Amino acid sequence: MASCIREVVEALIKKLQSDVTQHTVLVPLNDYYEVKHTSSLLVIGPKLDENHSKRNSEKRVVVDRDNLSYTERNWPRYYHLDFDFVLTADNGAELLDLQEKVIAFFLDNRDVATADCVFKLREMVPIGGLERPNLSNLRQASGRYRIEDVEVFDHDVFDGKIVLYRNFRLCDFGSRRLIETYKPDE
């Protein structure tokens, strides 16, 4: 099973590269980064924050009636993925254009989709509203954004059969005398 966190982060980066700027780069949290291109968008993170209100200690059971089987596993943990966005440009006008593109991106895209799931995007601090130290001669603006409730499953999965064996006993309706026993699994 592929990592759901990785899939959703890759989907977000690809969407940002196509809609905002092709120079969008994912930078790990607490890592040093170097701006190689202007104008660029640095996506710093993710910082994981568990959604404790959705934590469930019961088992999750999925029944497959066609195959008379079931799958039992723990409920997933749900995590919010927080990212700091840092826009970098050579001048103020170019920075304002990039800010408008990021704002429009989050207005147009309320969610991010992977092959299996769709997750909500949320603006925590608008671009330009987060104060970060700028130690360069470039123009920068920062904001914080979130992907909500990304599922992370454990690897403890149990598959079982609903019906272990099937025997059909055909009886005479009037006398209730056994006529035949039918075993379809043999």
Task: State the pLDDT confidence band at 15, using cuts at 50, 70 and 90.
Answer: very high
Average of per-residue pLDDT across 34-48 = 89
b/e map 79-89, b = 16+ CB within 10 Å: bbbbbbbbbbb
Give the domains, in start order, of the chain with CATH numbers: 4-56+76-155 (3.30.2000.10)
Predicted TM-score (pTM) of this structure: 0.78
Residue with the bigger pLDDT between 186 and 167: it is 167
- pLDDT band with cut points at 50, 70 and 90 for residue 1: very low
The pLDDT, as a whole number, for residue 184 is 65
Q: Which residues pair with 26 in a beta bridge?
A: 43
Structure tokens at 62: 């999925």
pLDDT, tens digit, 9 for 90 and up, residues 121-179: 999 999 988 887 777 788 999 999 999 999 998 888 889 888 766 677 778 788 888 77
Q: Residue 164's pLDDT is what?
A: 67
Query: What DSSP letter does each residue of 101-140 carry, written as one string?
Result: HHHHHHHH-SEEE-SS-EEEEEEEE-TT-S-----SSSEE
Q: Give residue-wise pLDDT tens across range 76-100.
A: 899 999 999 999 999 999 999 999 9
Average pLDDT over residues 19-36: 88
> Is pLDDT above 80 for 3?
no
* Cβ neighbours of residue 9 closer than 8 Å, sequence gap 6 or more: 26, 46, 81, 147
Instruction: Write the DSSP string, 44-99.
Output: EEEEEEE-GGG---SEEEEEETTTTEEEEEEPPEEEEEEEEEEEEESSHHHHHHHH
